[in-house]
Amino acid sequence: MLKYIRRRPVLWFVGLVLPALASFAVNFGFSLSLNAYTAELTREDAAFRSVLLLMAATAVSLVFAVIIEDVARHLFYTFSLKTQNDVRQEIYERTVRTKYASLSDADRGAFYTRYNRDSAMAASIPGGDLFGILFPLVHAVGYFIALFAVHALIGALVSGLTVAVMALNLLFVNRFRRLESESLAAREALTRSVDTAVRGKITVRQLQLAGPVSARMAEAADGVYRAGRKSIRLQLCRKLTLELLTTVCTSLITPVACVLAAYGKIELASTVMIAQICRFILLQTNGLGTAVQQLGVHLVSYRRLQETLSLPDEYAEQESAVGWESDPGVPAVELRGFGVAYDGNVVLCDAQAVIRHGEITAVLGPSGSGKTSLVNALLGLVDYSGELRVFGAEARGIRPDELRRRIAYSPEHGQLFGEDSVLENLRYAAPESTEDEVRRVCARLSLDGVELTRPADALSGGQRLRVSLARALLRDAEIVILDEPTAALDSVSEAVVLELLNELKARGKTVLLITHRSTTMEAADRFLLLADRKLYAFDDCAAAASALRRVESGRDGTS
């Protein structure tokens, strides 16, 4: 958390220290003034004019101190809000910069809870928690000095009570920490249920699952309720034991002071000051105990966030390849003993293949054969064994942003940012492109009738796919990967895409075409069939199609 303090050290220091000092000045000054009033009024020659002057001076100084305290608190609230935004931004940046494989098992409920709640709790540590601890400590030091100055016995007695109260506070800290972990787990379960219900809204209606889904959400909400009830009961227990004990013990100090005054050990006027200071110490002791408790609770969120913030940065682990330029004499993509496995489950092994410049290579195979794994490896998203060379350079040694800059990818389902317009989705691929260039690309894919300001969520499945293809075209990359580009299209739209493939080939682009359609396969020059964890190469479309049919019917594709 020190890095957040270093970003705004002045704002943090001023907001942390000034309110505590100003508040202490207000309360301590009031105690001294009260002592002065009492001393003046108990004199035989008391002058009302002197009392008024004391009151006026006290009022002016108190107002000034309160203004300083309020301004400093405002600065500290600003620091806390900025820190919370910094934490959330860091969570987002770490998520989008980490390896794709690190997020394959990510829990949406956990991510949303960490992003929304844990970030706020963790951001409170350098701000609210330190303030909550420093504020009463500053007051307590001043008050104890004043008490020891009045009478050492009073100071020692109050000090002993304070130490005992803080020791008891630590017993509650661990219990509150365990409850916070339980509460966060319950919130994750509830968020996960809500996310599932929203994302599966069509399936819920189609299968009439409103009842079971609602029951699951109610159960998750009940978990949050139970954790909250436990926290409330523990808070009540703390008040009935610790805070009540603090109140009783501190209240007994005033009678002790009165007894000492009766025997002439201290001045009678000092008993009023002692009573006032003991009241302040009671408040600050309770505040310090609450701050320590909150710090323990917030550390739970901080440790949870570390799991996300410690994810590996894929950009920091790789450096750009030296002299990485296209060379017609070197294959665009080359596999040498290439393989992919997930948790020991081998998807593809010992694959050998060459993908040449300016050719269309069809990648075939049944579901689960490794087609997506091959694409993800090309995009630097998953680890692999063997060698994967792109334009002659080993992909592991290429920075992911450099690698992806040379590759345009259109996924199978035309994944778009639904809340953004069509134009915004297209410009994500090429921010420098003009609106005229975007319209020309859209016209080539029969999208000229689609309004560019229309939200992507309002598009049909076929339109989304074609927008995704248009985005890949705008990228103007040297390698173009098209995943089932004609799967959701009618024959007319398919013909448009096939014409586009020929155009890409004529421009010297290297195209990887993942498809199951025989009409689309015919546009390819070469064929790679993935089956039974192996890769087979074909130069003939009919032979590749025949092998694919045998694989899909359950027979060996090479027999």
Q: Residues 117-158: pLDDT tens digits?
A: 888 888 888 877 887 787 777 777 777 777 787 778 888 888
Strand order in the sheet with 510-514: 407-410, 479-483, 510-514, 360-364, 526-531, 534-538
The residue type found at 460 is S
Does the pLDDT value for residue 222 go beyond 70? yes
For residue range 257-294, list pLDDT tens digits in order.
787 777 777 776 677 777 777 777 777 777 787 888 88
For residue range 343-400, list pLDDT tens digits in order.
888 999 999 999 998 899 999 999 889 999 999 999 988 889 999 999 988 998 888 8
Pick from 101, 214, 112, 234: nearest CA to 174: 234
Pick from 69, 63, 72: nearest CA to 30: 63
Token pair recorded at residue 389 = 């060379």
Does the pLDDT value for residue 47 go beyond 80? no
Q: State the pLDDT at residue 557.
A: 47
Average pLDDT over residues 451-461: 87
User: Which residues lie closer than 8 Å to 97 by C-beta, 6 or more apart?
Assistant: 313, 314, 315
Q: Which of 121-135, 397-411, 462-476 has the lowest mean pLDDT?
A: 121-135
In which band, very low, low, confident or very high, does the pLDDT at 535 lie, cut at 50, 70 and 90? very high
- Using CA atoms, how far apart are residues 254 and 256, in angstroms rounded to an integer? 5
Q: What is the mean pLDDT of the chain?
A: 82
Token pair recorded at residue 334 = 């080359």
Integer CA distances (angstroms), 192 to 167, 172, 196, 197, in order:
39, 30, 6, 9
Does the pLDDT value for residue 320 go beyond 70? no
With beta carbons less than 8 A apart as the criterion, state whether 340 and 384 touch: yes
Token pair recorded at residue 338 = 């290439």
3-class secondary structure, 346? strand
- Counting other chains too, the contacts that 552-556 makes at CB distance below 8 Å and 24 or more residues apart are 552/366, 556/531, 556/532
- The percentage of the chain sitting over the pLDDT mark of 90, rounded to a whole number, equals 14
Q: State the pLDDT at residue 480.
A: 94
Does the pLDDT value for residue 442 go beyond 80? yes
- Using CA atoms, how far apart are residues 293 and 287, in angstroms rounded to an integer? 10
Does the pLDDT value for residue 295 go beyond 80? yes
For residue range 83-100, list pLDDT tens digits in order.
888 888 888 888 888 877
Average pLDDT over residues 12-35: 69
Place of tokens 């200071």: 277
